[in-house]
Amino acid sequence: MISNYNFAYLDEQTKRMIRRAILKGVSVPGYQVPFASREMPMPYGWGTGGVQVSAACLTPDDTFKVIDQGADDTTNAVSIRKFFEKTAGVAVTERTSDATVIQTRHRIPETDLTEDQILVYQVPIPEPLRFLEPRETETRKMHALEEYGLMHVKLYEDIAKHGEIATAYAYPVKVEGRYVMDPSPIPKFDNPKLESAALQLFGAGREQRIYAVPPYTKVVSLDFEDYPFDPSRADHPCELCGAEDSYLDEVIVDDAGGRIFVCSDTDYCAARREKGEAA
Amino acid sequence: MYVAVKGGERAIDNAHAWLAEERRGDTDVSELSLAQIREQLALAVNRVMAEGSLYDPDLAALAIKQARGDMIEAVFLIRAYRTTLPRFGASAPVATGAMACDRRISATFKDLPGGQVLGPTFDYTHRLLDFALAAEGGEVPEPATGAATEGDLPHVTSFLAREDLIQDEPEGPATPRDLTREPLDFPADRPLRLQALTRGDEGFVLSMAYSTQRGYGRNHPFVGELRVGTVPVEMEIPELGFAIEIGEVKVTECETVNQFLGSKSEPPQFTRGYGLVFGHSERKAISMALVDRALRWEELGEDDMGAPAQDAEFVLYHSDNVQATGFLEHIKLPHYVDFQSELELIRRIRAEAMAAQGDVQEAAE
């Protein structure tokens, strides 16, 4: 553990500032709270928002888990886990159920989370309306006025053009009937899991925003009555553990384009195989 | 049988070791010292200090060495270090009139009190590769010396101000907002915009300024004055009740005098653009002044011409190279999950489209 930095790298004043933003986010679910994001020793776009939120949440007794694309051993997940091992000296784990704080990029773990857990998301673009309106001053106004017509028009145009809503990840949701929120680039398969017993915190470092979904908050994926939301997944079982309920990565295994499907959540897959549920 | 790719941790450690080896290069060539970088690559050091928002030539030299000469990486190292430093307070505004100038030129007056001081500049060098430099150990010619100018050098704009020919600058807030301690917020006032510009990427600010010269928000700038030199930095110490000098910094200051034909609310008068940058960086200071002027269209009652350099959100959100490079390069990170969901979507939509085409064909036959 490096001793010449404060616990979890950030100084206490900065952590207080972040905690205040988190508390505001929890009080107004789905609302993007501006915060004075700091430069971290990893690049913007590589999880600086999530790292700052984790730093503000971690205590010496916590057990920390980091996943990227559902896996604990992807390079950036390893890098962030090592960062907190070095700067906070916290225990780390790959087991979802053993972790008290889980930082994630692009996935929600398959295993249901509990009230004792915090899930921290890394968010690249927190504004769900950004690609419809590039101006921050405008999008903030749209949220304030609950002016989400533009989003519904976009979803409608998708259906008119493609026969379905052509958003496969970062699928927009409405939180507690008020704010439209970007759930970060998780596959829409994960959207139903946004209604959770755990506290979910979202950190966008470069864009200087924090938002939250408190436990048991109502989170509805945007859709239409006649085109209901459909959390799709590849229509295969996992090649390794046989799971039929998990999100799958497609892996190309030979030059002929042969491919197999395996669980993206490595801990879920490994635990099933340990229990002898392999196919 | 497929085995999931493991070993991210070992790969990272090995990659770091390899990087260190590459950084050192051929060990038969002697290693660069920080002093060599600081003294002989001073303009690189200046840029890293300016965009890193931290005035420390030795740390900037270290960052350049560690970054293998990648300037944006060096700026990033300095920023990441800077963020761990406590903020004690704000200095008193530096009095650039009291600058010990190495260089001071005006493009608007042939001569002026204090005179034109050319100083160390590339401006009138012929850009011919000097092969004599390749043979190391050459003698450096001794430049001529003269007596330093006594007292303050008045700013050129102050002469124009006496005749009321240039717009008066209202006093700003005593302590401006700190971009590094508060989230960026719009509308951004001028002190905030200037902060963003002075730490903005030199290339970006240059291109924005250039675009105004080519007609995208043209503002007819004259370099009223450009000065380079050292200024003392003073800070009010609450316990003492007065300001004391805590050091000095080298800065480049540019004041532009811009044509202004008046608007519905203002009579014709010259207006100002302002640039102030750490170190010797004329290109950056002039660029900053042009962009500053372009961003002032609203307060001067000018028309929004829809030019990129007039758009504060566009300029301020995209000027920071540490943010830009991080987000750009993050697309190297795995996106398997998102790509997978896109794959499934596109396969499904294509399958439906093919089936529909098939139906049409059958019906036609």
Query: Treating both helix axes as pointing N-terminal to C-terminal, what angle do B282-295 and B190-198 enclose, rounded to 10 degrees?
Result: 150
B35 is written with which tokens?
């002093």
pLDDT of residue B2: 47
Residue B64 sits in the same domain as residue B165: no
Split into its structural domains, chain B has a count of 3
Nearest to B330 among A46, A79, A82 (CB): A46
CA distance B297 to A22: 37
Whole-Å CA distances, A124 to A50, A207, B219: 10, 8, 36
Complex ipTM = 0.84
Answer yes or no: is B274 within a domain: yes
Answer yes or no: is B8 within a domain: no
pLDDT of residue B358: 82
pLDDT of residue B3: 46
Total Cβ atoms within 10 A of residue B148 = 8
Radius of gyration of chain A (CA): 19
Residue B281 sits in the same domain as residue B353: no
* Beta-carbon pairs below 8 A across chains A and B: 147
Task: Kindly report whether the global pTM for this prediction surpasses the value 0.80.
Answer: yes
pLDDT of residue A47: 93
Residue B260 sits in the same domain as residue B346: no
Answer yes or no: is B305 within a domain: yes
Answer yes or no: is B161 within a domain: yes
Residue B357 sits in the same domain as residue B307: no
What's the whole-number mean pLDDT along residues A203-215?
A: 97
Mean pLDDT by 10 residues, chain B (365 residues): 58 91 95 96 98 97 97 96 87 91 91 87 90 83 77 86 86 84 91 96 97 91 94 92 94 92 75 96 97 93 90 96 95 88 89 84 74
Residue B115 sits in the same domain as residue B200: yes
DSSP state of B148: P
A238 is catalytic: yes
CA distance B73 to B51: 11
Residue B359 sits in the same domain as residue B312: no
Residue B253 sits in the same domain as residue B346: no
A213 burial via Cβ count (<10 Å: 0-12, 13-18, 19+): buried
Residue B110 sits in the same domain as residue B245: yes
A164 is written with which tokens?
């379905």
Which range marks the domain in which residue B347 is found?
335-364
Query: Treating both helix axes as pointing N-terminal to C-terminal, what angle do A75-88 and B8-24 enclose, rounded to 10 degrees?
Result: 80
Residue B277 sits in the same domain as residue B343: no
Answer yes or no: is B19 within a domain: no
All structural domains of chain A: 12-220 (3.40.50.11310), 233-279 (no CATH)
Please tell me the distance in Å from B349's CA to the nearest CA on chain A: 7
Residue B209 sits in the same domain as residue B262: yes
Is the Cβ–Cβ distance between B72 and B322 less than 8 Å?
A: yes
Answer yes or no: is B45 within a domain: yes
pLDDT of residue A194: 98
Please tell me the distance in Å from A120's CA to the nearest CA on chain B: 18
B chain contacts of residue A170, beta-carbon cutoff 8 Å: 338
pLDDT in tens, A82-96: 999 999 999 999 999
Answer yes or no: is B206 within a domain: yes
Given the DSSP bridges, would you call strands A91-92 and A63-68 parallel, antiparallel or unpaired?
parallel
pLDDT of residue B7: 62
CA distance A254 to A237: 20
Residue B243 sits in the same domain as residue B355: no
How does DSSP assign B267-293, residue by residue? -S-BEEEEEEEESS-HHHHHHHHHHHH
CA distance A147 to A154: 13
Phi, psi angles (nearest 5°) of residue B107: -95, 0
Residue B162 sits in the same domain as residue B245: yes
pLDDT of residue B274: 96
For an interface test with B, give the residue of A40, A46, A75 to mutate (most B CBs within 10 A): A75
Answer yes or no: is B12 within a domain: no
What's the whole-number mean pLDDT along residues A54-63?
A: 97
CA distance B249 to B93: 12
Lowest mean pLDDT among A17-21, A223-227, B7-11: B7-11
pLDDT in tens, A104-121: 999 999 999 999 999 999
User: Which A residues, 37 through 66, put their C-beta within 8 Å of a C-beta on chain B?
Assistant: 37-41, 43-46, 48
Strand ordering across the sheet containing B271-278: B100-105, B221-237, B242-258, B271-278
Total Cβ atoms within 10 A of residue B52 = 26
pLDDT of residue A125: 95
pLDDT of residue B66: 97
A57 is catalytic: no
A chain contacts of residue B8, beta-carbon cutoff 8 Å: 73-75, 77-78
Strand ordering across the sheet containing A63-68: A33-34, A209-213, A199-204, A118-122, A101-105, A63-68, A91-92
pLDDT in tens, A245-261: 999 998 888 888 888 99
What's the whole-number mean pLDDT along residues A192-203?
A: 98
Query: What's the full length of chain B, in residues?
Result: 365
Of residues A50, A57, A203, A241, which has the active-site annotation? Answer: A241
pLDDT of residue A175: 98
pLDDT of residue B87: 84
